[in-house]
Amino acid sequence: MYWKLIWLYLRFWQETCNEVILIGNLFEINSQTLNSEGLAMEEEKIGFVSNYYSKISVAAIKITDGTVSLGDTLHFLGHTTNFESKVDSMQMEHKSVTEAKRGDSVGVKISETARRGDKVYKIVAD
């Protein structure tokens, strides 16, 4: 009798965990940003957060694809992170720059907390 209850309980949790993992993977794969009209905007992956400095609210971003320029809007996406921030200031080696390309590591002042490993996307205007 008890083994049936235990089996049902384990079966329930296995199905629940599989659904959560599936939903999480779908969210990450299909993550899109909506504009003010509710339409999906295109994003291109540009890199990841290599470090975050909380006292000065600066994310160190390793650029792996594409470029980033002043005025671009970036989308930070991670396990517990999901926000957008406009690039108002950007530095490399303590010097202000206007653009960063593949292979560069830049510091960007952001509005919210980012975490190491968060993916960074550039929102592409239609």
Number of domains present in the structure of the chain: 2
Q: What is the pLDDT of residue 40?
A: 60
pLDDT band for 96, please (50, 70, 90 cuts).
very high
Q: Which residue has the tokens 């960007």?
A: 108
77 and 114 housed in the same domain = yes
Tell me which of 6-20, 58-72, 112-126 is least confident: 6-20
Cα separation, 115 vs 113, in Å, equals 7
Q: Summarize pLDDT for 21-32 with one digit per residue, the tens.
A: 444 444 444 445
Q: How many CA atoms lie within 13 A of 64 on its CB side?
A: 10
For residue 102, the enclosing domain spans 42-124
99: helix, strand or coil = strand
113 and 87 housed in the same domain = yes
Burial of 75 (0-12, 13-18, 19+ CB in 10 A): buried
Q: What is the pLDDT of residue 47?
A: 95
Burial of 61 (0-12, 13-18, 19+ CB in 10 A): buried
56 and 114 housed in the same domain = yes
pLDDT band for 9, please (50, 70, 90 cuts).
confident
pLDDT band for 91, please (50, 70, 90 cuts).
very high
79 and 109 housed in the same domain = yes
Cα separation, 69 vs 93, in Å, equals 16
Q: Summarize pLDDT for 45-69 with one digit per residue, the tens.
A: 999 999 999 999 999 999 999 999 9
95 and 48 housed in the same domain = yes
Q: Is residue 21 part of a domain?
A: yes
